[in-house]
Amino acid sequence: MNGPIYNRVALIGLGLIASSMYWAIKRAGVVGEVTGYARSQATRDTARRIGLCDRVCDSAAAAVEGADLVVLCVPVGVMGQVAAEIAPALKPGATVSDVGSVKRAVITAVEPQLPDDVHFVPAHPLAGTEHSGPESGFAELFDNRWCLVVPVNGTAETPIAQLQSFWELLGANVEIMDPDHHDLVLAVTSHTPHLIAYTMVGVADDLRRVTDSEVIKYSAAGFRDFTRIAASDPTMWRDVFLSNKDATLEILGRFTEELFALQRAIRTGDGEHLHEYFTRTRAIRRGIIEAGQDTDAPDFGRAKAKE
């Protein structure tokens, strides 16, 4: 590729995803300058201290000035507000994108705030860890992970193709998807599993017959995985569930039905039903490994051994 894919990229919000984007951009060498902004002075100070972004600005408007691509890396509940804040400072012809894990609610909140002469191309990198904040990012976060690009109706092809190339250069596989289908897929693969993890950890906390020390000391792999998922950022997940209410409730209803069927099988001693069910679900795990989205050696949240 000749020259940078964007001359200037602005990252609004400097948490795990934005910081990983910056290090991946630097690794790929595909952007002229990266500016950044975070609402918290402490976060901006940390970003400056660790060299996160070429230039950290003290207002969102200053960060987006002259930017060819602006990426909203803030909780989905405040995206509309942030879009309104930056709208007057956006460069004509710029692309505005985001990294939110809900798409229909983000489009509804953000699109009306933006001027007609900018392109809005929502996106969602399916990558993350239970850690948050500017110091948690790393360049490899998006490698061989999927980034779903979810354009709004009437968007020109060029900004969509450019954003797709940008994410591919950051290491991701990219697919174009409809907003409502995205929200249903994510309700299955991410949102409802998180809710179940939060619930199971909450149940352990409520079950006073099992002491705190026993829960921690005797954590089997399954519960350990639940606690890792349930350690995710509370503000982000509150906003996700409120913003993707319909799809999450639909999948939660299906989950509840399946759970009742398993309860019945256990109560009636129906080993055949349990075995068939577990065999089917085991095949899904094999499919994930074969697709290169995990390894066959689970780490259950433990730090990997140093080479």
Instruction: Indicate the pLDDT class of residue 213, thresholds 50, 70 and 90.
Output: confident
| Spans of all domains in the chain | 6-177, 181-290
More confident position, 191 or 36: 36
Higher pLDDT, 140 or 132: 140
Mean confidence (pLDDT) of the chain: 90
Instruction: Please name the amino acid found at residue 262.
Output: L
By the 8 A CB rule, do 70 and 95 touch?
Answer: yes
pLDDT band with cut points at 50, 70 and 90 for residue 2: low
In the predicted structure, residue 304 carries a pLDDT above the cut 90: no
At 306, the pLDDT band (50, 70, 90 cuts) reads very low
Q: Provide the pLDDT for residue 263.
A: 96
The residue among 114, 239, 102 whose CA lies nearest residue 180 is 102
Asked if residues 44 and 58 have their Cβ atoms less than 8 Å apart, the reply is yes
Rounded CA-CA distance 153/227 in Å is 39
Q: What is the pLDDT of residue 297?
A: 66
Query: Which CATH architecture describes the domain 6-177?
Result: 3-Layer(aba) Sandwich (3.40)
Cα dist from 187 to 111, 181, 223, 228, 240, whole Å = 23, 10, 21, 19, 10
* pLDDT level of residue 88 (50, 70, 90 thresholds): very high
Per-residue pLDDT, 183: 95
Q: Which CATH class is domain 181-290?
A: mainly alpha
Question: Could you give phi then psi for residue 56, rounded to 5 degrees?
Answer: -100, 125
| Partner residues linked to 8 by β-bridges | 33
- Looking at the predicted structure, is the pLDDT value of residue 225 above 90? no
Q: How confident is the model at residue 293, as a pLDDT?
A: 81
**pLDDT of the residue at 98:** 98
Residue 299 confidence (pLDDT)? 57
What separation in angstroms does the CA of 6 have from each of 16, 32, 68, 147? 22, 7, 6, 18
| 8 A C-beta contact, residue 17 and residue 130 | no
Residue 115's nearest CA partner among 150, 146, 90 is 90
Distance CA 303, CA 106 (A): 34
Q: pLDDT per residue over 16-51, tens digit each?
A: 999 999 999 999 999 999 999 999 999 999 999 999
- For 146-168, write each residue's pLDDT tens digit: 999 999 999 999 999 999 999 99
Element housing 172 (H / E): none
Question: Which of 74-83, 103-112, 236-245 shows the lowest mean pLDDT across its residues?
Answer: 236-245
pTM (two decimals): 0.86
Q: What's the pLDDT score for residue 277? A: 92
Amino acid at the residue 169: L
Q: Would the pLDDT of 114 be above 80?
A: yes
Cα 306 to Cα 130, 240, 292, 301: the distances in Å are 20, 35, 22, 15
Quick: pLDDT tens for 228-275.
Answer: 888 888 888 899 999 999 999 999 999 999 999 999 999 999 999 999
Residues 263-295: tens digit of each pLDDT: 999 999 999 999 999 999 988 888 888 888 877
pLDDT, mean of residues 217-229: 77
> Do residues 200 and 59 touch, judged by C-beta distance below 8 A?
no
Dihedral angle sign, alpha carbons of residues 105, 114, 70, 40: negative
Query: Dihedral, CA atoms, 38, 93, 21, 243, nearest 10 degrees?
Result: 70
> What is the average pLDDT across 65-81?
96
Instruction: Name every residue whose Cβ is closer than 8 Å to that of residue 226 and which is 6 or more positions away in sequence.
Output: 196, 197, 200, 201
Residue 172 has pLDDT above 50, yes or no: yes
Q: Which residue has the higher pLDDT, 284 or 11?
A: 11
Q: Is the pLDDT of residue 136 over 90?
A: yes
Choose among 67, 122, 59: nearest CA to 93: 67
